[in-house]
Protein backbone atom coordinates (compact mmCIF):
# COMPACT_ATOMS: atom_id res chain seq x y z
CA UNK A 1 0.00 0.00 0.00
CA UNK A 2 2.83 2.41 0.92
CA UNK A 3 4.73 1.38 -2.16
CA UNK A 4 1.71 2.08 -4.39
CA UNK A 5 1.40 5.56 -2.85
CA UNK A 6 5.10 6.23 -3.41
CA UNK A 7 4.84 5.15 -7.03
CA UNK A 8 1.84 7.46 -7.48
CA UNK A 9 3.71 10.42 -5.98
CA UNK A 10 6.80 9.68 -8.07
CA UNK A 11 4.67 9.38 -11.19
CA UNK A 12 3.01 12.74 -10.57
CA UNK A 13 6.38 14.40 -9.95
CA UNK A 14 7.80 12.94 -13.15
CA UNK A 15 4.72 13.92 -15.09
CA UNK A 16 5.07 17.49 -13.83
CA UNK A 17 8.77 17.58 -14.71
CA UNK A 18 8.01 16.12 -18.11
CA UNK A 19 5.42 18.77 -18.89
CA UNK A 20 7.69 21.53 -17.65
CA UNK A 21 10.39 20.21 -19.95
CA UNK A 22 7.99 20.10 -22.91
CA UNK A 23 6.81 23.64 -22.12
CA UNK A 24 10.40 24.87 -22.00
CA UNK A 25 11.20 23.22 -25.31
CA UNK A 26 8.15 24.77 -26.96
CA UNK A 27 8.99 28.21 -25.55
CA UNK A 28 12.63 27.89 -26.52
CA UNK A 29 11.69 26.92 -30.04
CA UNK A 30 9.11 29.64 -30.56
CA UNK A 31 10.91 32.57 -28.94
CA UNK A 32 13.99 34.13 -30.51
CA UNK A 33 17.14 33.88 -28.41
CA UNK A 34 17.73 36.91 -26.21
CA UNK A 35 20.13 39.35 -27.72
CA UNK A 36 20.19 37.41 -30.92
CA UNK A 37 21.91 38.55 -34.03
CA UNK A 38 20.37 41.51 -35.71
CA UNK A 39 20.82 42.52 -39.29
CA UNK A 40 21.75 46.08 -38.47
CA UNK A 41 23.83 46.88 -41.49
CA UNK A 42 24.43 50.61 -41.67
CA UNK A 43 22.28 52.16 -44.33
CA UNK A 44 24.35 53.53 -47.18
CA UNK A 45 24.65 57.29 -47.17
CA UNK A 46 22.84 58.72 -50.15
CA UNK A 47 24.96 61.44 -51.62
CA UNK A 48 23.42 64.51 -53.17
CA UNK A 49 24.89 66.57 -55.96
CA UNK A 50 25.64 70.19 -55.33
CA UNK A 51 23.14 72.06 -57.50
CA UNK A 52 25.75 74.65 -58.51
CA UNK A 53 28.86 72.69 -59.40
CA UNK A 54 27.60 69.11 -59.32
CA UNK A 55 30.01 67.86 -56.66
CA UNK A 56 28.46 65.01 -54.69
CA UNK A 57 28.19 65.79 -51.01
CA UNK A 58 27.04 63.89 -47.93
CA UNK A 59 23.83 65.64 -46.80
CA UNK A 60 24.75 65.29 -43.12
CA UNK A 61 27.99 67.20 -43.61
CA UNK A 62 26.98 69.54 -46.41
CA UNK A 63 25.76 73.10 -46.20
CA UNK A 64 22.03 72.69 -46.43
CA UNK A 65 19.30 75.07 -47.42
CA UNK A 66 15.61 74.59 -48.09
CA UNK A 67 14.56 75.88 -51.46
CA UNK A 68 10.82 75.85 -52.19
CA UNK A 69 10.26 73.02 -49.72
CA UNK A 70 13.10 70.89 -51.06
CA UNK A 71 16.32 70.52 -49.11
CA UNK A 72 19.36 71.24 -51.21
CA UNK A 73 22.92 70.53 -50.17
CA UNK A 74 25.90 72.58 -51.25
CA UNK A 75 29.55 71.66 -51.25
CA UNK A 76 30.63 75.10 -50.01
CA UNK A 77 29.44 78.49 -48.85
CA UNK A 78 30.47 79.85 -52.22
CA UNK A 79 28.08 77.51 -54.03
CA UNK A 80 25.27 78.40 -51.65
CA UNK A 81 25.86 82.08 -52.37
CA UNK A 82 25.82 81.43 -56.11
CA UNK A 83 22.73 79.25 -55.99
CA UNK A 84 19.71 80.87 -57.58
CA UNK A 85 16.60 78.71 -57.43
CA UNK A 86 14.64 78.64 -60.60
ZN1 LIG B 1 29.27 73.14 -55.25
Which spans in 31-85 are helix H?
Answer: 77-82
Would you give the distance in Å from CA 38 to the centre of its chain? 7
Closest CA to 48 of 72, 70, 68, 82: 72
Compute, in angstroms, the gap from residue 22 CA to the centroid of ligand 1. Answer: 66
Ligand 1 centroid to Cα of residue 14, in Å, is: 77
Could you list the pLDDT tens digit for every one of the 86 residues in the chain?
788 888 888 889 888 998 998 888 888 888 766 665 566 677 778 899 999 999 999 998 999 998 889 889 999 999 999 998 66
- Ligand 1: centre distance to CA 69 (Å): 20
Q: What is the pTM of this model?
A: 0.46
Non-local CB neighbours of 51 within 8 Å, separated by 6+ positions: 72, 74, 79, 83
- How far is residue 27's CA from residue 8's CA, in Å, rounded to a whole number? 28
Q: How many A from CA of 59 to the centre of ligand 1?
A: 13
Centre of ligand 1 to C-alpha 49, Å, is 8
Amino acid sequence: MVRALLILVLFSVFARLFWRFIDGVVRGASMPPPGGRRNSAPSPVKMQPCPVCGTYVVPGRAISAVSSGVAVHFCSEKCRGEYAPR
